[in-house]
Amino acid sequence: MKNQLAPFPLSRPRRLRQSDWMRRMVSETVISPDDFIYPMFICEGDNITDPIPSMPGISRLSIDMAIEMANHAANVGIPAIALFPYTENDKKNQNCTEAFNPDNLVNRATRAIRAAVPDIGIMLDVALDPYNSDGHDGILRDGEVINDETLMALEKQAIIQAEAGANILGPSARRGTETLLWCPSHCNVAVTEVHIPPTHAHPPPLPFLSALSTSNTKDQHLFLLLRRNHSFWCQHSGVVATSAARTLHGLRLGR
């Protein structure tokens, strides 16, 4: 678009920044509680608030306490929450089978919160690292990520989470074709949004991984796009989003 501003000194954009009322009036971006998703880390037990050392001020919550927090979030105008499970080591294995257990921790929490706070949105992570004894988002065999087996596992996990009542599924395992694999199975499942995030490689988020009791420190550059290849990601994500939209009849894609 051609620049419509007159040249200096006739145009003085600083005038738009001279007062609080003017800055608020011309602001292009306004942040409110409507923009927030409140993250919660879930643990087993009752009446538990377990501080997370790597995340000061944040605690793992048992399901009953998570219900209270979800109700508080709804009351202050936060539209959605994101649930992340703290999985005990004895429930982890190399095949990540706890991920597709309908009665696993995060699915039980989803059903309980959905029943107690029906007007709040619930987002779940479609990722295997909380359930993988190897600590990776993908299934490993002899130190290598087995992509096709991982995709099938992620599809099963996504279906179980949708059936538990999740409104938003975040494919944080970040494999380019996983969203397409969910599509045929989800046509008859009551999911209202699918979130498709960028698949850039990044350093391991260590405080977050500590909160989940996982250790996903494998090299993501083996299967994720480099951050400096952003234009390719934009092209690729458009293909995925378009294909998913055509397949998921009536399913609105998240931003």
In tens, the pLDDT along 91-120 reads 999 999 999 999 999 999 999 999 999 999
Q: Considering the entire predicted model, what is its pTM?
A: 0.73
Percent of the chain with pLDDT over 70: 65
Task: Look at residue 204 and tell me whether its pLDDT is greater than 60.
Answer: no
- Say if residue 194's pLDDT is above 70: no
Give mean pLDDT, residues 224-252: 47
Band (pLDDT 50/70/90 cuts) for residue 202 is low
% of residues, the chain, pLDDT over 90: 38
pLDDT digits (tens, 9 = 90+) for 206-235: 565 666 666 555 555 555 555 566 565 555
Average of per-residue pLDDT across 71-95: 95
Closest CA to 62 of 50, 74, 78, 80: 50
Amino acid at the residue 46: D
Burial 177-208 (b: 16+ CB within 10 A, else e): ebbebbbeebeebebebbbbeebeeeeeeeeb
Domains of the chain in start order, with CATH, are 31-253 (3.20.20.70)
pLDDT at position 164 is: 94
* pLDDT value, residue 118: 95
pLDDT at 24 over 80: yes
CB 69 within 8 A of CB 78: no
Structure tokens at 206: 């260590």
Q: Whole-angstrom Cα distance, residue 91 to residue 86?
A: 11
